[in-house]
Structure 1
Amino acid sequence: MSNKQSAVRDLSTIKDFIRWAFSRFQQADLFYGHGTDNPWDEAVHLVMGALKLPLDFDRDMLDCALTYNEKKHILKLVQTRITKREPLPYLLGEAWFMGLPFKVTKDTLIPRSPIIALLESEFAPWLKNDPLNILDMCTGSGCLGIAAALVFEDAEVDISDISEAALLVANENIVRHQVEDRVHAIHSDMFKGLAGKQYDLIICNPPYVDADDFESAPAEFHNEPELALTSGEDGLNFTHEFLAQVAHYLQDDGILVYEVGNTEIALQAAYPNIPFMWVELEQGGNGVFILTKDQLSELLQEQK
């Protein structure tokens, strides 16, 4: 009898399946980093997500018996998570970001940007006033832009991406969070679809993983869209082009919030005269900088 058949026969309750999934995950060489960071939390998220139950569940619920079909569904998800190394949010079709649920597919990165910490503090002390016009470029699922719209309730927000498939997902999330009157999804290759626009705040989590890091990354990351992760040998192809243009799209008091992750060192070496303001993030994460319109304008002058 297979492990799957014996599990259907021998396991009964939610608690049983969480413990079983945890044991299977412990035995597998999985990477955690797409919403959880350990096998126990992964097991809890998988079982509760599969059953469409809240994570802040009543513990009495753990003794509820599962139907045959529910058991089969959980077993299939566990098997796929282990054998194909698919990140759990793809299996569930949903990820959580800033306490909010977002639809995700393999056309979008799984939300995890450390920029979330700055959003929660409303970008203090760098923003002088609440922004009225915001751009979230390389938006993917739309999570950063939609969260920004919910934080800054008077702002108009453009979210842009080169991937039309990603924007379809982002549009669903816009409707889900009822911000379709203020959040606008725009298909754009960098700034090509944004001519004449200017913003008080530009947020960007671009592709920045260098070739070596991508090659050695856990299998889970190779299930995400490579277009949204990599950008040339040193990871900076997108960033070079972006920095050469972004000043034109900022208001006079505007700021840029930009994530480069592990390519922070390569970026500083490429632009030794730019006074990047690297943000210390209490919740972890690295490689997020802030620049003002004036600082970016000086870069343009240097390049002439």
Structure 2
Amino acid sequence: MTILETLKLATEYLEKYNIENARLNAELLLSDILKCKRLELYTSFDKPLNENELQKYREFLKRRAKGEPLQYITGKANFFGLEFIVTPDVLIPRPETELLVEEIINSLDKNISMKILDVCSGSGNIGITLAKNFPASFVYCLDVSEKAIEIGNLNAKNLNVENISFQLIDILNQIPDEKDFDVIVSNPPYISFEKKDKLQREVRLYEPHTALFVDDELKFYRRIIELTDSLLNEKGKLFFEIDDELVDSISQLMKEKNFKSIKVKKDYSGLNRIISGEKSK
């Protein structure tokens, strides 16, 4: 069976299970198996697939048809032009989070040395991307999951990033030893358990719940903002990814801690997604 014939059948199979962008999914899964770029499939339509390739492809398609995210099947996800290893132990990096990183890059001087703290670092996508873009700075990443710390370290090694460290810390109950940060960034859990059933099945069934859900949507924001007293330098910058519905509450928490120059940025859907501010006396 040729690549073209296989893709046609695979697309029809995924469509039957209501997988969005079925053709794109079929192509990405096959290109992963063949270790080629997706566009290279188009120049090899007449190439036949061997039985091992077909068998592995069938397994991938079955997993995708059940709703398992494509990134967990291939074990990788793209973020800000970089390829990250991802497993069900960490969240899949989102395009909206690229806006958070972009906002930080556009707000700060790449040439000065800074201490940057990434709270709830997951796969390390935020911290590693910042370390890449701020080579004179050092990024400290914190997460409560041992598996996430392992994956973060592995991603840093694979992407040749040395100005970064990962530490196992429960930020809700512990305080980092390191202090005097110039920047704190976080994309913490902020979805209430009550909203769980409204999420896509890919997210609800496969992504780590500890990285998604909380009993109090403001829990992490409140804690991190409180810790800025001891962790963040004067005139230091704080950046959060947020839920649109939380913008007023988080803004108020920041104002109560004397943050100024508070800015809110919308995502691609026009929803409030990024909030930032500067610490003052």
Q: Which runs of 5+ in 1 are unaligned?
A: 1-11, 33-37, 298-304
Identical residues among aligned pairs (%): 27
C-alpha contact (below 8 Å) 1:261/1:286 kept by paired residues:
yes
Q: CA deviation at 1:113?
A: 5.1
Long gaps (5+) in structure 2: none
Q: Residues 135-177 of structure 1: CA distance to partner in whole angstroms, max 9, x if unpaired?
A: 1111111111111111111111111100011111111101101
Q: Decide which of 151, 155, 168 is 1:169's aligned counterpart.
A: 151
The structure in which a higher percent of residues are strand is 2
Deviations 1:17-54 (A, max 9, x none): 22222222222133x5xxxxx22222221111222222
Superposed CA RMSD in Å reads: 2.5
CA distance in 1, matches of 2:249, 2:9: 45
Q: In structure 1, what is the Cα distance between the partners aligned to 2:64 and 2:114?
A: 42
Change beyond 3 A, Cα 1:277–1:247: farther
Q: What one-letter code is carried by the residue in structure 2 that aligns with 1:166? A: A
Note if contact 1:261-1:287 (Cα within 8 Å) is conserved in structure 2: yes
1:83-232 matches, within 5 Å, as 83=66, 85-112=67-94, 114-120=96-102, 123-124=105-106, 126-127=107-108, 130=112, 132-179=114-161, 181-190=162-171, 192=174, 194-222=176-204, 223-232=206-215
Q: Are residues 256 and 272 of structure 1, via their aligned partners in 2, closer, same or farther at CA, if it must alter by over 3 Å?
A: closer
Q: Give the 3 Å change call, closer, same or farther, for CA 17–262 of structure 1 in structure 2.
A: farther
Q: 1:1-304 to 2 correspondence within 5 Å?
A: 12-30=1-19, 38-57=21-40, 59-83=42-66, 85-112=67-94, 114-120=96-102, 123-124=105-106, 126-127=107-108, 130=112, 132-179=114-161, 181-190=162-171, 192=174, 194-222=176-204, 223-232=206-215, 234-265=216-247, 267=249, 271=253, 276-281=262-267, 286-294=272-280
After superposition, the Cα gap between the structure-2 partners of 1:195 and 1:185, relative to the gap in structure 1 and judged at 3 Å, is same
Scaled by the length of structure 1, the TM-score of the pair is 0.81
Query: What's the secondary structure of 1:115's corresponding residue?
Result: helix
Seen in structure 2, the aligned counterparts of structure 1 residues 288 and 173 have a Cα distance that, compared at 3 Å, is: same
**Greater CA deviation, 111-120 or 249-258?**
111-120
The alpha-carbon deviation at position 225 of structure 1 amounts to: 0.5
**Paired amino acid for 1:63:** D
Instruction: State the distance in 2 between where 1:193 and 1:237 align.
Output: 15
Q: Is the 8 A contact 1:141 1:167 kept in 2?
A: yes
Structure 1 residue 239: Cα displacement = 1.9
Pairs aligned (count): 274
Contact 1:98 1:147 in 2 (8 A): yes
If the length of structure 2 is used for normalisation, what is the TM-score?
0.87
User: Does the Cα contact within 8 Å between 2:244 and 2:271 map onto a contact in 1?
Assistant: no
Q: Take 2:11 and 2:191, find their aligned partners in 1: how far apart are those partners?
A: 31
Displacement of 1:76 after TM fit? 0.8
Rounded Cα–Cα distance in structure 1 between residues aligned with 2:75 and 2:160: 19
| Deviation at residue 270 of structure 1 after TM alignment | 6.6
1:209/1:262 contact within 8 Å kept: no
